[in-house]
Chain A
């Protein structure tokens, strides 16, 4: 096979090479690895059990259908049953397990992958669609197999790159393994939650790679270049050599940066900047502390909240938040109430999808109260701060403040200990909030500026649609002016604004934020060190002048060019 370079969109920086693990069913990521000789027969056995289970399920379904719908609808099930008896399928899988020592999940995928390919080669539309029957069976087999051997994601045996049509944020979280070195998806964009998590895990990712899956076999060696936004299949020796060098270079520069860990976060003209880290799940707090970050500027709680598929119980939430707060110790932690509406796994849904953020919480008050109670109950363990997501009117804010007071009163009546001084902040992430933050300032203790949404809504773009990605640009003159406005509106109140969107993670854009007057930034853990290095290399007075100049410019390209000239 010749080397093939597939173009996508850079979604998480860095480069990696490893073996592809295909996840064509986002719910069913399987782990592929070579078996120890002693385990081979056990896998053949569990595969056969899964076939038998699947067969019984189908027969039962068929019997039910026959009594209700008559014979006609059962022929489809006949086809499924026949696939389970088909030696072209079953025997080949057993051979794969025995001869190539593939684990059973991998063997199923390898054989069905070959058959899928054969189907795709046939020029017959109706038949091509029949691959759905086989997919169905494969899914059933894998599910039935899974109940016998729950895969543990920690047991990846080699460097793996997860490849799927879409990959759910939760899948990525589950996979948290040091052997997961890259992520590739056919859909999605750098602003999807999956991308955000890949970045926070420091895993290179490329998204929007059309047609990467057809013909891709699990186990194939591929390269992911999250800097250039490309995926390379069948890389040549010389390409691999280049990437080996790049991977090594990154590791060296990381080590070098880690030496700068203890240096204070001040500009050259000795202005101290608060640099915090964002986290998406509770276990990330350890790496934040290891990086000596000064704050957790944004803890997006929806991932933990829904990690079990349904909302966590209050007790589990208390445990999560207590863990984060006690590990963070004296660092302030901005705990943002769940921002649903954008979470809900399906990345395909387009953006303004139902009520979001605070609107959702006000429509689901029991859920909102449960989370607030959990935060307050955990608040004795550290320095908690509550952030309300996606606020767009003062009325919503007033209603939320009432609920907060109600939760506190109830805890007090019940004699449950909590920190009465937990500050309350709001996210500025709608143009409405950006316009009215001066009015909100008297109602809250601080602000978080969520630039991802703010830019998207201000520039009228759909951030899940990667076609419009080049429209999403933090250097747009409108963005610059909007950010200046927020700073000017909030300044008189003396309340802090922590800028915690993706914009703060890009050193040149972050420099622009400093020039506008913002003194608190919060970035994903992976970007922390390079933003800190930028801060330590600039003179704030010069950035102020630079920003004044940028504010007179007419195009985003002009602005971006100029910033990058000054800040590398």
Chain B
């Protein structure tokens, strides 16, 4: 299992559009991907492929999110997702 923390770099946070792109990104990997918010008491866990769950994380700009992945491409997955969350990478073909 690979885990890493990321700070949301999108100014609008993980809202509809960003969440949709995140789901599309997660779907490119074979690993199970989970996002959690360590700061939240309810320890909400979101499946990286569930847009509804990701929206429910309500992760705004500057929120810390822990990304974990388990599977053959877990390292690449965690890396790509964290880069995306921090705003360092955008998804190919989209701005």
Give per-residue flags for A160-183: 1 if the beta carbon is below 8 A from chain B beta carbons, else 0: 000000000000000000000000
Q: Which of B12, B23, B47 has the most CB of A within 10 A?
A: B23
> What is the interface residue range for chain B against chain A?
20 to 34
CB contacts (< 8 Å) of A123 on chain B: these are 58
Closest to B12 in A: A126
> With A and B bound together, what is the CA distance between A124 and B58 in angstroms?
7
Establish whether residues A86 and B16, one from each chain, have CB atoms under 8 Å apart when the complex forms. Answer: no
B19 on the interface (CB 8 Å rule)?
yes
Which residues of A in the span 211-258 have a Cβ within 8 Å of any Cβ on B? none
Say whether chain A's binding surface is mostly helix, strand, loop, or mixed: helix
Q: Which of A71, A75, A78, A82 has the most CB of B within 10 A?
A: A82
Min CB gap A113→B, angstroms: 13
Identify A75's interface contact among B16, B55, B56, CB under 8 A.
B16
Establish whether residues B60 and A133, one from each chain, have CB atoms under 8 Å apart when the complex forms. Answer: no
Identify B49's interface contact among A78, A87, A124, A126, CB under 8 A.
A87
> With A and B bound together, what is the CA distance between A78 and B19 in angstroms?
10
A127 on the interface (CB 8 Å rule)?
yes
Establish whether residues B52 and A88, one from each chain, have CB atoms under 8 Å apart when the complex forms. Answer: yes
State whether A130 and B50 are in contact (beta carbons under 8 Å apart), knowing that A79-B20, A82-B23, A124-B58 are contacts in the complex. no
Give per-residue flags for A392-404: 1 if the beta carbon is below 8 A from chain B beta carbons, else 0: 0000000000000
CB contacts (< 8 Å) of B60 on chain A: these are 124
Closest to A119 in B: B56
> With A and B bound together, what is the CA distance between A127 and B53 in angstroms?
12
Establish whether residues B56 and A86, one from each chain, have CB atoms under 8 Å apart when the complex forms. Answer: no
A482 on the interface (CB 8 Å rule)?
no
Which residues of B in the span 15-67 have a Cβ within 8 Å of any Cβ on A? 15-17, 19-20, 23-24, 47, 49-53, 55-56, 58, 60
CB contacts (< 8 Å) of B47 on chain A: these are 87-88
Establish whether residues B58 and A122, one from each chain, have CB atoms under 8 Å apart when the complex forms. Answer: yes
Min CB gap A78→B, angstroms: 4
Min CB gap A36→B, angstroms: 31
Closest to A123 in B: B58
State whether A133 and B16 are in contact (beta carbons under 8 Å apart), knowing that A122-B58, A124-B58, A127-B55 are contacts in the complex. yes
Which residues of A in the span 61-88 have a Cβ within 8 Å of any Cβ on B? 71, 75-76, 78-79, 82-83, 85-88
Establish whether residues B50 and A88, one from each chain, have CB atoms under 8 Å apart when the complex forms. Answer: yes
A118 on the interface (CB 8 Å rule)?
yes
Give per-residue flags for A327-365: 1 if the beta carbon is below 8 A from chain B beta carbons, else 0: 000000000000000000000000000000000000000
> With A and B bound together, what is the CA distance between A115 and B51 in angstroms?
12
> With A and B bound together, what is the CA distance between A133 and B47 in angstroms?
19
Min CB gap A127→B, angstroms: 5
CB contacts (< 8 Å) of B24 on chain A: these are 78, 82
CB contacts (< 8 Å) of B51 on chain A: these are 79, 82-83, 86
CB contacts (< 8 Å) of B94 on chain A: these are 71
A-B interface pairs (CB < 8 A), number: 57
Establish whether residues A122 and B56, one from each chain, have CB atoms under 8 Å apart when the complex forms. Answer: yes
> With A and B bound together, what is the CA distance between A528 and B78 in angstroms?
73
Establish whether residues B16 and A79, one from each chain, have CB atoms under 8 Å apart when the complex forms. Answer: yes
Which residues of A in the span 397-433 have a Cβ within 8 Å of any Cβ on B? none
A89 on the interface (CB 8 Å rule)?
yes
Q: Which of B47, B49, B58, B94 has the most CB of A within 10 A?
A: B58
Q: Which of B16, B24, B50, B58 has the most CB of A within 10 A?
A: B16
A134 on the interface (CB 8 Å rule)?
yes
> With A and B bound together, what is the CA distance between A509 and B92 in angstroms?
75
CB contacts (< 8 Å) of B17 on chain A: these are 75-76, 78-79
CB contacts (< 8 Å) of A85 on chain B: these are 49
CB contacts (< 8 Å) of B16 on chain A: these are 75-76, 79, 130, 133
Establish whether residues A86 and B50, one from each chain, have CB atoms under 8 Å apart when the complex forms. Answer: yes
> With A and B bound together, what is the CA distance between A26 and B51 in angstroms?
27
> With A and B bound together, what is the CA distance between A86 and B12 in angstroms?
23
Identify A127's interface contact among B15, B23, B49, CB under 8 A.
B15
Closest to B42 in A: A121
Which residues of A in the span 43-64 have a Cβ within 8 Å of any Cβ on B? none
Min CB gap A33→B, angstroms: 26
> With A and B bound together, what is the CA distance between A122 and B47 in angstroms?
18
Min CB gap B26→A, angstroms: 11
Establish whether residues B52 and A115, one from each chain, have CB atoms under 8 Å apart when the complex forms. Answer: yes
Establish whether residues B56 and A82, one from each chain, have CB atoms under 8 Å apart when the complex forms. Answer: no
Give the top 4 A-B pairs by smallest Cβ distance, nearest first.
Answer: A82-B51, A88-B50, A78-B20, A124-B58
20 A–B contacts, CB within 8 A, in A order = A76-B16, A76-B17, A78-B20, A82-B23, A82-B51, A83-B51, A88-B47, A88-B50, A89-B50, A89-B52, A115-B52, A115-B56, A118-B56, A124-B60, A126-B13, A126-B15, A127-B15, A127-B55, A127-B58, A130-B15
Interface residues of A (CB under 8 A from B): 71, 75-76, 78-79, 82-83, 85-89, 115, 118-119, 122-124, 126-127, 130, 133-134
Interface residues of B (CB under 8 A from A): 12-13, 15-17, 19-20, 23-24, 47, 49-53, 55-56, 58, 60, 94
